[in-house]
Chain A
Amino acid sequence: MTAGQNAALARPLPLRCVGLLLAVVIACLLSACDGPPVLPLRVGLNPWIGYDPLVLARERHLFAPAELGVVELETSGESIRQLRNGLIDAAGLTLPEAMEMAAAGADIRVVAVLSQSRGADAVLASAGLTTPGQLRGARIAMEDSALAAIMLQRLLEAGALRRDDIRVVVMPATEHEAALTHGSVDAVITFEPVISRLASAGFNIVLDSADMKGEVIDVLVVRADVLASRPLQVAALLQAFEQGRRALLADPPAAARELAPGADLNADEYVRALSRIRLFSRDQSDRMLQALPDSPALALSRISSDLRSGGRIMAEPDWRRLFAVPAPGAQP
């Protein structure tokens, strides 16, 4: 061993200390290079029990609150408003509402088809009014939504009525029951869980969605920028709906016991209401989306035509941009 080597070994401690310190500093700097903290992806839902798989998934802690936030809103109009203004990242909407929103210029994507109404959207009327034709001169309450406008269109067609023959009163679904019960309107265009409560109270179902194939469809809509920047959270959202759907269908009475009180129904009413809805699995949803724009399950042309004739949209939206095909995180 030479003298130079001895000297080098005699001074290793300070060098080691400096080296250690530099390592700590570099480690600290690297640790600060993490990405920004990510907010949970917030999805807004109006009180339609077709969206309840997501509510059930939240109640049963089937997803992490840091990943997803489920917000229950008063009306679908509220969902559209908050989605447009960026307070929520995704929303459960009817297909006509999603189309109307896209036609108005909102950059959104339909990532899943959630459910089909088989009577869970309906027109209910007071005693003595049992057919559409009897509603001439009636006051009809409805939400200011694209789907309600289409339901109204079908009602007028079924009753051979003109728009001037009835009087439309716009109010949120949460007020429909009180309005019909107190007699301030003669009929309501509404949806579950309001239908079950009104039917139990003796009101008549004049028209329902069972015969409107492909029109009364609910979809999951995500803002385009969110889909591009947070695809994993969107995948988690789809996964959460699927898990909630399975839990709901596996034991409907148990799910009803959890969800019904918050919807002002008893468990039996809730199960009956659920039977009027078909909840699509992930595979079914993906197949429908892949078959677009000519999917037989989704009556895009008819809805578009109805919305145009009702003055709710001026031109057809770009279907390729509206539907995310294939859906992110789709199963092979």
Chain B
Amino acid sequence: MRAVAALPSRTLVPLLLVLFALLLGVVNNLLQVREYRVLVEQEQSHALTERLGVEQATLDRLIVNGNLLQLRRVVAELGLRPYLTHAYLIAPGGRVVGSLARADVGQDRIDRVIDAEGAALLDLPVQPDQALQIERSPDGRALLAALILDSGHRLLVRSDLELPLAQRLHASRLELWRHAATILLSALVLALFLHVFWLRRAQRLSEAARAIGRGHLDTRVNIGGRDELALVASAFNDMALRLQAQHDALRDGERRMRAMFELAGAGVARIDTLRGRFIEVNARFCDIAGHGREDLLAFDFMQITHPDDLPAELEKMDALRRGRIREFSMDKRLCHPDGRTVWVTLSVTPLWAPDERPDFHIAVVQDITARHDAEEALMLERNRLRAAERIAGLGSWEFHPGSGRVWWSAQMFSLFGMAPANRAPTMEVFMACLHPEDRTAVAVVLEQMKAGAQTLTALSYRTSPECGPVRHLLPSAQVVTDGEGRVIKYAGTLIDTTEAVQAERALRASEERLRATLEHAPNVAVQWFDRDGRVLYWNHASATLYGWAIDEAIGRRIGELVLSEQDARAFMARLESVQRDSLRIGPEEFTVRHRDGTLRYVESSTFSIPGVDGDAIFVCMDVDITARRQAEQAVEKERTHLRTLFAALPDMVWLKSPEGRFLSCNRMTERVLGLREDELVGKTDYDLFPRELADSFRAHDEMAKRTGGRHINEEWITVRDTGERILVQTVKLPMLSEAGELKGVLGIARNITQLHEAQEDLRALNGELEQRVAERTRALSDAMKELESFSYAVSHDLKAPLRGIDGYSRILQEDYGDLLDDQARRFLGNIRNGASQMHALIEDLLAYSRMERRSLESSRVDLGELVQSVLARRADELAAAAVQVVGEVPSLIVRADRQGLDLVLRNLIDNALKFSRDAKPPVISFTTRVDGDRITLSIRDNGIGFDMKYHERIFEIFQRLHRSDEFAGTGVGLALVRKAMQRMGGRVWAESAPGEGACFNLELPA
């Protein structure tokens, strides 16, 4: 490092440039790799979404059909995807029913078969409202996906990212090399230029500067040229000239300063800052210190300073040395050789510049011994008075009516929130410190004082809120008269009574709040009684509860108001008990009588509080529970009806907890299972049935929980008592609390054996027909697989030569364009347009094919947010075409597949952009309409529009209304929009007329 720092800049700068270029190359490479990583992740995530979307439908069907072997093969076939390394299909009980590795199948626990690379799949969080979830693995090397099927099965998949990234990097290596070489070459050329044209001349300039530094002030430099460096050289020559002149002027100045030093009226000394030694002292300094010049030059300043003042001075000197202060001044004592103490004012000024090392400072001293003694005596008196006032919280003042002179003690200033001062404030300032409401009264008293009144009006007043917290002040005054009774002055005090006033107010406010709470408590009826049971207090809630107004109730006995005579006697006994034992009784339930004769149920608490004259006051607090009691009675009645119905039902009915434990069942269930309800409760399907059957029951429970509605299936079961095999049709539905929380799954099973037998006969008749349908379906399935496999081949194999055609024709156009005539160049342009058109067509066809095959997820999508997202991604195109976007889509939730709806919006906005390009300006407007459970989004443009007789045609695949040289396109976009909308349970239609723009409407379920 030291060797590098020693290098001359003509070598170091080019070297640094090359280093910088290399660093730039590396950073550029890293950024490219990062960008490719993001791209690859997006591509693979998209591919995985598509793939699992297609597989979802197949797996759901195979699980329902129970074809385990085929199910395994479908999972194993996922290995066809080149980057997919792990795939596990897991049953609700945790058993592995499908995997890329055959030995995994049938294992009870996934964590026993999964390897370290795939272990992250187990930590993938499951979100109940999302069937497919894709996340990047914690180490960033793979994508992890979890697909939740309707039956509760989970498909866990890991797709590698490193291999596709490596392939992408390999494909882009030439581009990366080109970037790096360009950067490095540019840096080398720049370094060479700097070395030849700049740094060699700079070296000559630096040599000249070094000569000036050595004292050769007559040095001059000539490096030629007219650039900034030449200007610096010229300025350098001027500077050398000025330096010479200044050097001579400095010598004259020094002589004059020395004469002033010796003749100064104050003592001046130059002192070595680090050691404290006197370097120079003038005659006056020797007089004040009482030492001769020779003696002082042998001392340091610590030796003549009084020991008590030395620490403070040393501290300030330290601050000065460290640069924390630039100078200081202080009073201190010197020890005179005759034993006296000499008070001086010391001013110290450093002689070094702020960034330099401390060397010397100037100390100026003035003798202040006489003045100091007088001030000390005065200060002692004042301090005594201030201490007394501060302790008493008392200010004192004087007013001389003759001269108008006013004196305030320090505490007076403090009471008015002012800083202590030598003079009392003016009348205006004093009045401004008073509370605006008290100013008039104080002004009256002040007028009395000015007039020399013998007696003054008594008053108290407050400080203004503008001077800080308001204080309450109580003044007192004493009149001092001369021998003839004329007032000489008023002397008085001022006491701060704020705390006493505030305490009184708080007490009153608390009492008011308590009373208001009692009066207006809506549900709590409060009454006070004396020892004879007469009403002393009756709040509004009591009046409402019992029908007796407050005025009517006060003074009456309880027996006259709400209780029967017998209950009133019990009430009196209760009061006696409360008084005797100092108890609080309740809350207890009572039946009371309203004034209109109806009975009410109340919960009442009774206790006593002391009265004003020492007698106890009895407080009753009643809460009306009549409505609650009536509701409880109604619920009990309904429950009895339901129990009877439940027990008598001819179907099996049971309830299971969300975890699958039986909570209750009816008699028919007891009979079929051969267990009493109390024996059944707490058991699971796995305690009662074989594992395969229990797995199936659990899977159906899970389906009911997931779909949130009725789930129906049929099962063969054996009646335990008779051994009879019966077919039951089971309806399962989730039981939810009012808050929507899952409480359990209700099952109702009906014996449909006879119905089934009848259906079997019918089914046998239809067998032949079904067989043919199955064959056709299989043929169709084969065709679909062929299409899927073909699509994959198309997307990879057909696009590769297309890229070659486009790439080579571009090279021809760019590198050999000059050698071709116009016709040849036009042909080349046609080839490129054709390749581009074919690429778009392949992409659109693949998208259409995927839209037909993949399973769509019905999730809650925020329409407003999605439209904004699509517009943000099209921001560049919209800005380039100067499109005005009108209207804002509010945050409306629709049920749709997010990717599908995104595709629809992208196509429609692209369409609007394309067909309104000639409008001035192009306008795309959005409106929404909510109609019950349907939401309609309209996208309108002001483009060329179309004739409504073509309305159906525009939504068909490959149908176009314009030539491709007028408007580019493949004729797939709107077909894709219609297909996606149909598959999402929505619809799309258009409204238009030629030349009047077009409006596309999307209707989706809310």
Contacts and interface: CB of A to CB of B under 8 A. Distances in A.
Most buried by A among B22, B80, B797: B80
A262 interface: yes
B106 interface: yes
Interface stretch (A69-77, A96-104, A215-223, A306-314): A69-77
A37 B83 CA distance: 13
A109 to B, nearest CB: 20
A155 B785 CA distance: 30
Contact of B73 (A29, A47, A171): A47
Interface in A153-212: 169-172, 174-175, 177-178, 184
B877 interface: no
A81 B789 contact: yes
B552 to A, nearest CB: 88
Nearest to B167: A37
Contacts of B790: 85
Contacts of A44: 80
Contacts of B789: 81-82, 85, 87
B775 A169 contact: yes
A29 B179 CA distance: 12
A136 interface: no
A297 interface: no
Interface in B1-54: 3-4, 7, 11, 15, 18-19, 22
Contacts of A13: 3-4, 7
B79 A72 contact: yes
Nearest to A261: B106
Interface size class of A (residues with CB under 8 A): 35 or more
B761 to A, nearest CB: 14
Given A14-B11, A85-B789, A264-B68, A65 B82 contact: no
B446 interface: no
Contacts of A24: 22
A24 B184 CA distance: 13
A169 B70 contact: no
Interface string A13-35: 11001100100110011001011
A21 B74 contact: no
Nearest to B22: A21
A215 B477 CA distance: 135
A74 B79 contact: no
Contacts of A17: 15
Given A74-B77, A87-B80, A261 B163 contact: no
A245 interface: no
B782 A264 contact: no
Most buried by B among A21, A70, A261, A262: A262
Contacts of B796: 86
A125 interface: no
A105 B654 CA distance: 63
B76 A37 contact: no
Contact of A78 (B77, B106, B184, B771): B77
B176 interface: yes
Contacts of A139: 771
Contact of B18 (A21, A65, A71, A74): A21
Given A14-B7, A78-B785, A86 B797 contact: yes
Contacts of A268: none
A258 B101 CA distance: 10
Contacts of B793: 85-87
A71 B80 contact: yes
A262 B77 CA distance: 14
A44 B7 CA distance: 66
Contact of B70 (A35, A69, A74, A86): A74
A100 B3 CA distance: 77
B69 interface: yes
B82 A39 contact: yes
B771 A169 contact: yes
Contacts of B177: 29, 32
Interface string B181-198: 000100000000000000
A73 B170 contact: no
B385 to A, nearest CB: 81
B105 interface: yes
Contacts of A72: 72-73, 76-77, 79, 102
Most buried by B among A28, A55, A174: A174
A203 to B, nearest CB: 17
B775 to A, nearest CB: 6
Interface string B278-294: 00000000000000000
Contact of A174 (B70, B101, B767): B70
Given A14-B15, A85-B793, A71 B67 contact: no
Most buried by A among B68, B184, B771: B771
A259 interface: yes
B792 interface: yes
A261 B7 CA distance: 75
B659 interface: no
Nearest to B106: A261
B79 A70 contact: yes
B103 interface: yes
B605 interface: no
B166 interface: yes
Contacts of B70: 74, 172, 174-175
Given A18-B15, A174-B69, A73 B77 contact: yes
A116 B789 CA distance: 30
A262 B103 contact: yes
Contacts of B15: 14, 17-18
Contacts of B774: 171
Interface in A50-83: 55, 58-59, 65, 69-74, 77-78, 81-82
Contacts of B100: 71
A74 B73 CA distance: 5
A36 interface: yes
Nearest to B162: A37
A170 B170 contact: no
B359 to A, nearest CB: 40
Contacts of A14: 7, 11, 15
B85 interface: yes
Contacts of B771: 139, 169, 184
A39 B170 contact: no
B25 to A, nearest CB: 8
A42 interface: yes
Interface string B363-401: 000000000000000000000000000000000000000
Contact of B67 (A47, A59, A170, A174): A174
Given A18-B15, A74-B70, A262 B102 contact: yes
Nearest to A39: B82
A70 B100 CA distance: 9
A36 B73 contact: no
A59 B101 contact: yes
A39 B77 contact: no
B778 interface: yes
B163 A37 contact: yes
B173 interface: yes
B786 interface: yes
A69 B83 CA distance: 10
Nearest to A262: B102
Interface of B: 3-4, 7, 11, 15, 18-19, 22, 67-70, 72-74, 76-77, 79-80, 82, 85, 100-103, 105-106, 163, 166-167, 170-171, 173, 176-177, 180, 184, 767, 771, 774-775, 778, 782, 785-786, 789-790, 792-793, 796-797
What 10 pairs between A and B have smallest CB-CB spacing? A262-B102, A71-B79, A72-B76, A37-B166, A74-B73, A85-B793, A261-B106, A262-B105, A174-B70, A36-B170
Given A72-B72, A172-B778, 7 more contacts: A17-B15, A25-B184, A29-B177, A81-B785, A87-B80, A261-B105, A264-B68
17 contacts: A18-B18, A32-B176, A47-B69, A69-B79, A72-B102, A73-B76, A73-B80, A74-B74, A77-B782, A82-B80, A82-B789, A85-B789, A169-B771, A174-B73, A184-B771, A262-B72, A262-B102
